[in-house]
Homo-oligomer: A and B are copies of this chain.
Amino acid sequence: MARITAAAFTSHVPAIGAAMDLGKTQEAYWQPVFAGYEASRQWLREQKPDVVFLVYNDHANAFSLDLIPTFAIGTAADYPIADEGWGPRPVPPVKGHPELAAHIAQSVIQEDFDLTIVNRMPVDHGLTVPLSLMCGERPADDFRWPFAVIPFAVNVVQYPVPSGRRCFELGKAIRRAIESFDEDLNVQIWGTGGMSHQLQGPRAGLINREWDNAFLDRLIADPAGLAAMPHIDYVREAGSEGIELVMWLIARGAMADIAGGPAPRVKHRFYHVPASNTAVGHLILED
């Protein structure tokens, strides 16, 4: 039986990917960011997940205004790396897990989540930066990610985006789906995006350290309460792009305690300002 063993949460700032791709990780500006992920890389090597269910948002790369799915699940065997305008990142292509992905899609659609199923989709920094942060640079002689990935894209670009509560409920359904899959798989679920940041308008550069840390506290100890927070609070307190944090509630909703199990263990917690325009937040919870 497949089981969710841990959840990881992390910002997915594009500049972090660029810093890795351009060999700047030891520069004074970037060194503290990457230091915050050293323990995580070690942890991930030990955990050896078979599959990561990776919740992120596309940033106008796979989806234009022609078609905007609220929730899109990737059921493909592989996903190319998007050219976001700077050329594609020099990272390995992403291998999917079609069987588990299709199983999850089938299960949660039957639980009234109206997913869009996607079989062709380039993946952007929202998905590849978390992989880079957590896995480190991929060596030329083993240029692949060490596990399969199920991309799960959430619309947080055009309003209205799904509510925190909807995301949290979806997480619960995803847990049930994964746990009903026959094959013995070690599955992690990652929530990405955030923390506070605003990339647009005269208010760009907004950072709210206090609010971000309260968000992390509540994500650990009061996720159901946190899921009730309305969108306007995210935007007002954490910047227009801070809304990405609703996606973390999908991963959190998929953990054991929400299904009546024991509370998760906090394996790692990290917070840093700034990375480009953004506050970096990171959390690992083990089930």
Contact = CB atoms under 8 A, between A and B. Distances in A.
Interface of A: 65-72, 106, 109-110, 112-120, 158-160, 162-163, 165-166, 169
B69 A69 contact: yes
Contact of A160 (B65, B106, B165): B106
B112 A166 contact: yes
Number of this chain's copies in the assembly equals: 2
A115 to B, nearest CB: 6
A120 B68 contact: no
A74 to B, nearest CB: 10
Contacts of A65: 119
A158 B67 contact: no
A149 B169 CA distance: 33
8 contacts: A65-B119, A67-B118, A67-B119, A69-B114, A109-B162, A112-B162, A112-B165, A114-B162
B110 A160 contact: yes
A160 B109 contact: yes
A112 B163 contact: yes
